[in-house]
Amino acid sequence: MSDDDRGDASEADRAAPEASSGGRNGQQDVVRRERFSGGPARGFLSSLAADERIFAADLAVDRAHVVMLAEQGIVDAEDAAAILGALAEIERAGHGALPDGEDVHAAIETAVVDRVGDRGGRMHTARSRNDEVAACIRYRLRTDVLDAAEATVEAREVLADVAADHVETVMPGYTHLQPAQPTTVGHHLASYESALTRDTARLLDAYGRINRSPLGAAAFAGTPFDVDRERTADLLGFDGLVRNSMDAASARDFLVETTAAVAALATTLSGLAEDLVVGASAGHVEFDDDYASTSSIMPQKKNPDTMELVRATAGDAAAGLNGLLSTLKGLPRAYNRDLQRAHGHAFEAVDAVREATEVAAGAVATADWQVETLAAAAGEGFSTATGVADLLAAEGVPFRTAHEVVAAAAERGDDYEAVASAAADRLSEPLTAYVDREAVEAALDPAESVAARDSVGGPAPEAVAAALDDARDGIAADGDAVADRRAALSAAADDLATEVATYA
């Protein structure tokens, strides 16, 4: 390069060699610094867009905190009124109007200061974003969990109603996808109502541990201000406190419990969906058009697409649980920025599974069970064999011997003659010495076989009807439990609004 060429070089080019003794390496160092300074890191840190979900929760938490600060004399009433008025304006403007910030919490505080000046910063007295965000997540998640629990209650109502309509609708029952014993559509659907009962219980149990207030923990070591933690808990409808301040700020096990509960629910739904898909393939059940689709090329097809998607939701929920556990594993105590990525797994899982619950319930409610086809299939594969063996055992034949007799009969047919022939080969006396022909033929009939199994929880129509009566009691109780929790949250929201109105 000539001297004249150097004279035409930019100031940055001339300065670059001086930036490092490495000459060209120094120039590259400047370029790297310019490329990676500022924007990328700040954007990576920000959760503002994702925080839209907890925008309303943060406003509620801010209001409760400010009311408590004013009541405790930590912030004067005039400043409290100004802050609360600004929060009302921010709420009306919506999340999209917030200024840029690392998260929704900082953005709301900035918006308050923009409206009322420096005194807006008093809103953050005696707290940290650590206890604030933990409170916001709990505040929002508890409602989502109630929504999911309510969806399970409604699904159980559907299952119980349809089961009641089909307590006498005989169908094949399977183990290992092989014909096993006849049962009924009512018994089959009632089994899923029973499973969903436990899913409801898990969600309500999780709610109890979600609905605890971490506010007042500050960063993790509490605060020297004379805060009233119980007051903010009451104003926000929390049932109590997470008392230890370090635990309050850092704990996310309530996310694990919630995500595990919805993953279990998704697994229940996936089993129901699989049974319905298989049933549709066999011609045992037909889906309403709203829950099926046609092929783009094969006009004769009616595909149970919604149930296939319900089935797949179990994978989404399991992945969310695994992602959450992986994020939390090995974190040191108190706050770590990893936690910013934790709650999304729970929110996404609960959304997906709640929707899947509603869709599965709709599919069952509108499906058409093919009664004649089911009855014809109920006895396939000598599915009444166990009933015949039980009959012989009840008449004094050792069960293992009876099992051998019926197994031998299965190789010859599935009628009385096959059983009588096998009995003649293996028993010391003719079959009629133990049981008459009418009893054997009744045991061979799928409907009679079902009716004979009338023990508690069995498929006999009377047993299923009794189980459904009990199920309806449980459905009503769980529905009341969800409603009671919603009412408590609504009452707390009204109380908070009343207190805010005394200032703003």
The residue out of 339, 359, 377 marking a domain boundary is: 377
Do 431 and 440 touch, CB atoms closer than 8 A? yes
Hunting for tokens 């929201």 — which residue is that? 493
CATH of the domain at 95: 1.10.275.10
Total domain count, the chain:
3
Provide the pLDDT for residue 47: 80
Task: Answer yes or no: do 113 and 189 share one domain.
Answer: no
The catalytic position among 37, 281, 295, 326 is 295
Burial 430-465 (b: 16+ CB within 10 A, else e): ebeebbeeebbebbbbbbbbbbbbeeeebbbbebbe
Task: Answer yes or no: do 46 and 155 share one domain.
Answer: no
Instruction: Identify whether 8 is part of a domain.
Output: no
Instruction: Identify whether 65 is part of a domain.
Output: yes
SS3 letters for 417-479? HHHHHHHHHHCCCCHHHCCCHHHHHHHHCHHHHHHHCCCCCCCCHHHHHHHHHHHHHHHHHHH
- The answer to whether 490 is a known catalytic residue is no
Burial 373-408 (b: 16+ CB within 10 A, else e): bbbebbbeebbbbbbbbbbbbeeebeeeebbbbbeb
Helix (H, G, I), strand (E, B) or coil at 414: coil
The catalytic position among 2, 10, 21, 176 is 176
Task: Answer yes or no: do 64 and 187 share one domain.
Answer: no
Q: Which of 189, 199, 139 shows the shortest CA–CA distance to 166?
A: 189
Instruction: Identify whether 419 is part of a domain.
Output: yes
Instruction: Identify whether 504 is part of a domain.
Output: no
Q: Which two tokens stand for residue 44?
A: 């990576």
Instruction: Identify whether 451 is part of a domain.
Output: no
Task: Answer yes or no: do 293 and 199 share one domain.
Answer: yes
The secondary structure of 363-377 as a DSSP string is: HHHH-EE-HHHHHHH
Task: Answer yes or no: do 51 and 144 share one domain.
Answer: no
Instruction: Identify whether 29 is part of a domain.
Output: yes
Which DSSP symbol is given to 241? B
Task: Answer yes or no: do 249 and 357 share one domain.
Answer: yes
Provide the pLDDT for residue 44: 67
Task: Answer yes or no: do 151 and 263 share one domain.
Answer: yes
Provide the pLDDT for residue 295: 75
Domain coverage including residue 347: 130-225+237-377
The residue out of 444, 463, 485 marking a domain boundary is: 444
Provide the pLDDT for residue 22: 52
What's CA 333's distance to the chain center, in Å? 27
Instruction: Identify whether 9 is part of a domain.
Output: no
Residues in CB range of 290: below 8 A, 6 or more apart: 362, 366
- The answer to whether 95 is a known catalytic residue is no
Task: Answer yes or no: do 301 and 351 share one domain.
Answer: yes
Query: What is the enclosing helix (H) or strand (E) of 198?
Result: helix 185-210
Provide the pLDDT for residue 252: 98
Task: Answer yes or no: do 325 and 437 share one domain.
Answer: no
Tell whether the torsion through CA atoms of 306, 308, 311 and 315 is positive or negative. negative
Provide the pLDDT for residue 41: 53
Residues in CB range of 404: below 8 A, 6 or more apart: 426
The residue out of 71, 98, 125 marking a domain boundary is: 125
Task: Answer yes or no: do 116 and 135 share one domain.
Answer: no
Task: Answer yes or no: do 73 and 145 share one domain.
Answer: no
Taking 50 as the pLDDT cut, the residues of the chain under it are: 1-21
Instruction: Identify whether 344 is part of a domain.
Output: yes
The pTM of the full predicted model, rounded to 2 decimals, is 0.90
Q: Which of 494, 175, 412 shows the shortest CA–CA distance to 183?
A: 175
Task: Answer yes or no: do 36 and 161 share one domain.
Answer: no
CATH of the domain at 216: 1.20.200.10
